[in-house]
Structure 1
Amino acid sequence: MAFEISVFLENKITHFEAVTALLKKEGINIRSLTLNNMAHGWGVLSLLVDKPDKAYKVLSEHRNSVAMKEVIALEMKDEAGGLDELLMNIARAGIHIESAYTRLISESNLAVLLLEVPDVLEAVRRLEINHVKILDDKLVYGK
């Protein structure tokens, strides 16, 4: 399974850049990200990186408020309607999505939908029953 790193930070470019500079220094590649403003000038930076364990350790050691969460990576057709088709299958499986984002892997022309769900094990079970392909984390991270 894939893992997402989330960093709680002040919503200022210097704080965002401090995180990316630290990851760059450690040779950690950001594969996808979302930055969400929460309230009162604070936000959450969610990262899909090629070395999540290392990123978590490094960011924690530098006094960042950081969390690591398991996400589900699903194969999606990289064409018009690809997301719609996948979402119909997810709905049929009865999966509740807390958040989602995508990643395109250019080397293999593969589109990926990443999902945060309340219960990863149950969601995986339901997706497998409905023949929805769950991707290996090595493919998702681009290793």
Structure 2
Amino acid sequence: MAFEISVFLENKIAHFEGITNILKKEQINIRSLTLSNILHGWGVLNLLVDKPEKAYQALSEKGNSVALREVIALEMKDEAGGLDELLVQIARVGIHIENAYTRLISQTNMAILVLDVPDVLEAKKLLEQNGIPILDDQTVYGK
């Protein structure tokens, strides 16, 4: 099970850096991230880190509004059309995607698609039934 950390933060100078500083002090490596401005100067920072539970605890203890959510990680081809091929498969099995981002692992040239879906258990079941493998945590969080 892969997990994503989501931090609700005000869009002000140094707020983003405040989060990364906490993670640095805790020796937590950020593998991928998205930062979105949502409304009236507030945003959501989604992080894929190597130690999600520790990140959640550290950020919470420092007073941040943070959530730990399960996400699904799938391998995709690291070539033109690789994402499209995987999205076609996902659409065919009927999975709605609420949020997505990618990660490239340079040592193995593996491209990963990270998905936030409304119903993780149902999505996992549909993916497995249709022969679409879900990546293990070591692969997702590893170097």
What TM-score results when the alignment is normalised by the length of structure 1? 0.98
* CA deviation after TM superposition for structure 1 residue 108, in Å: 1.0
Other-structure match for 2:15: 15
* CA deviation after TM superposition for structure 1 residue 87, in Å: 0.5
Other-structure match for 2:34: 34
Q: Secondary structure at the match of 1:13?
A: coil
User: Identity across aligned pairs (percent)?
Assistant: 75
Q: How is 1:44-83 mapped onto 2 (pairs within 5 angstroms)? A: 44-83=44-83
* CA deviation after TM superposition for structure 1 residue 19, in Å: 0.3
What stretches of structure 1 of length at least 5 have no aligned partner?
A: none
Deviations 1:64-111 (CA, angstroms, capped at 9, x unpaired): 000000000001000011001000100111001011000001111100
Aligned length: 143
* CA deviation after TM superposition for structure 1 residue 114, in Å: 0.4
Rounded Cα–Cα distance in structure 2 between residues aligned with 1:134 and 1:93: 14
Deviations 1:13-45 (CA, angstroms, capped at 9, x unpaired): 300000001100110000000000011110000
Rounded Cα–Cα distance in structure 1 between residues aligned with 2:41 and 2:51: 29
What stretches of structure 2 of length at least 5 have no aligned partner?
A: none
Other-structure match for 1:97: 97
Amino acid at match of 2:101: Y
Structure 1 consecutive aligned stretches of length 4 or more whose deviation exceeds 4 Å: none
Amino acid at match of 2:90: I
